[in-house]
Amino acid sequence: MFHIILRKTMWFVIAEKERRVKANSREYNEKFSYATSKYNIFTFLPINLFEQFQRVANAYFVVLLILQLIPEISSLSWFTTIVPLVLVLVITAVKDATDDYFRHKSDQQVNNRQSQVLIKGRLQKEKWMNVRVGDIIKLENNQFVAADILLLCSSEPYGLCYIETAELDGETNLKVRQALSVTSDLEDVSKLMDFDGEVICEPPNNKLDKFTGTLYWKDNKYSLDNDKMLLRGCVLKNTEWCFGMVIFAGNIYRLMLLNSVSVNVVLLFVVSQLFNVL
């Protein structure tokens, strides 16, 4: 079940219909891949062009260009369409390449941060780049969340924890997350190591305020929502520690999948109008 999907700002190849993750089972979760960069030198041109032509404005101008090549249909020169289209494609490609280069450099710094991962019955320090789907990780107060994780338990009563989401939505007020009551008592490493629940949830997407899934454990199932998730980029606050199960990792986490506002639609329209005037 590969999770390569087609979208405007990220790429992966075949859409994942649902995600199945087993806790503490790296063997089962080996099906998931982990990208560190959006492009490489060989894939940049075809992928970037494919992404750009997914945009309605670019596709519209291609159709318009084809029609202008037929004299019986249009009296306008094809030059007035192809030049602004190529110009916008080049500008967007340069911007995307630059963004990906700096994102890759930033990822290298971020991925070298340390995280505590439960491996073979004990907590081990691992770089963020080595955190895998299904891993149980420990977070401490004022620590950045290393991946999109399902909250299992915390130092606070009833499995509560507090997070700051300034990097996600710009809000500095603290938000409350609460673990399922059935997992909130998994407070020591031995219990967490025996945790073998399976999460079936929605595939990777860019919705920061919504999550739908189900935890299957001990022949029971428990509904999951966004209030039980800690997203990568938020910071644990006023909570001594918490444990969570990684659901999305690598470049497949919601902050990365969040669509940025595209300016090429406006740019393409303005440039084409200038050429029509000239």
State how far the Cα of 253 lies from the Cα of 132, in Å rounded to an integer: 12
Backbone angles phi, psi at 184, to 5 degrees: -65, -15
Q: Is 100 helix (H, G, I), strand (E, B) or coil?
A: helix
Bridge partners (DSSP) listed for residue 150: 229, 245
For the chain, the structural domain boundaries read: 20-33+114-255
- List the structure tokens of 199: 């999460």
Smallest Cα–Cα separation from 41: which of 97, 107, 103?
97
- Taking the complete model, does pTM exceed 0.75, yes or no? no
- List the structure tokens of 162: 């507090």
**Domain with residues 20-33+114-255, CATH architecture:** Distorted Sandwich (2.70)
| Secondary structure letter of residue 70 according to DSSP | -
pLDDT tens series, the chain, 278 aa: 333 333 333 434 345 688 999 999 988 888 776 665 667 778 888 888 888 888 887 888 788 778 877 877 766 777 777 787 888 889 988 988 888 888 777 777 777 888 899 998 899 999 888 889 999 999 999 999 988 999 999 999 999 999 999 988 888 899 999 999 999 999 889 999 999 999 999 988 888 889 999 999 999 999 999 999 999 889 999 999 999 999 998 655 555 555 444 444 445 455 455 545 44
Backbone angles phi, psi at 12, to 5 degrees: -155, 155
